[in-house]
C-alpha cells in the first residue's frame, strides 16, 4: 500500500500541486487584501462620507442590500485586473 501511494504521488506530482496550491492561496489573500483594505477605501471613502455609510455593503433600497452585490462586483473586477497584471508581467517579461 505504501509503495502504491508513493507511486501515485510521484506519477501525478501531488506534492508540486500542493505547493502551488499553498502559494496560490497566499497570493489570493494578498490580492484580496489589496482590494479590500487599500484600493476600495482609498477610492470610495469620499462617496461613503457623502452617503453617510461606513461600508459599501450597507447600501440598501427598501431592504434590498444591493451594496453587497456591488461590493462583490467591484472586488471581482479589481481582483481580476490585479491578477491580469501579475500574469501579464510574468509571461510578457519572460517572452
pLDDT reported for residue 94: 62
pLDDT reported for residue 53: 81
CA separation for the pair 89, 95 (Å, rounded): 10
- Sign of the dihedral defined by the CA atoms of residues 6, 22, 82, 95, in that order: negative
CA 47 to chain centre: 23
Contact 71, 57 (CB under 8 A): yes
Query: Worst-scoring range by mean pLDDT, 19-28, 49-58, 64-73, 85-94?
Result: 85-94
CA separation for the pair 56, 50 (Å, rounded): 12
Domain boundaries, the chain: 28-94
Amino acid at each position: 500500500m505504501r509503495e502504491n501511494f508513493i507511486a501515485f504521488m510521484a506519477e501525478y506530482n501531488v506534492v508540486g500541486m500542493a505547493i502551488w496550491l499553498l502559494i496560490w492561496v497566499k497570493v489570493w489573500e494578498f490580492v484580496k487584501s489589496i482590494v479590500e483594505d487599500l484600493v476600495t477605501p482609498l477610492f470610495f471613502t469620499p462617496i461613503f462620507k457623502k452617503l453617510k455609510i461606513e461600508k459599501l455593503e450597507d447600501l440598501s433600497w427598501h431592504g434590498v442590500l444591493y451594496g453587497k452585490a456591488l461590493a462583490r462586483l467591484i472586488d471581482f473586477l479589481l481582483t481580476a485586473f490585479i491578477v491580469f497584471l501579475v500574469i501579464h508581467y510574468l509571461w510578457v517579461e519572460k517572452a
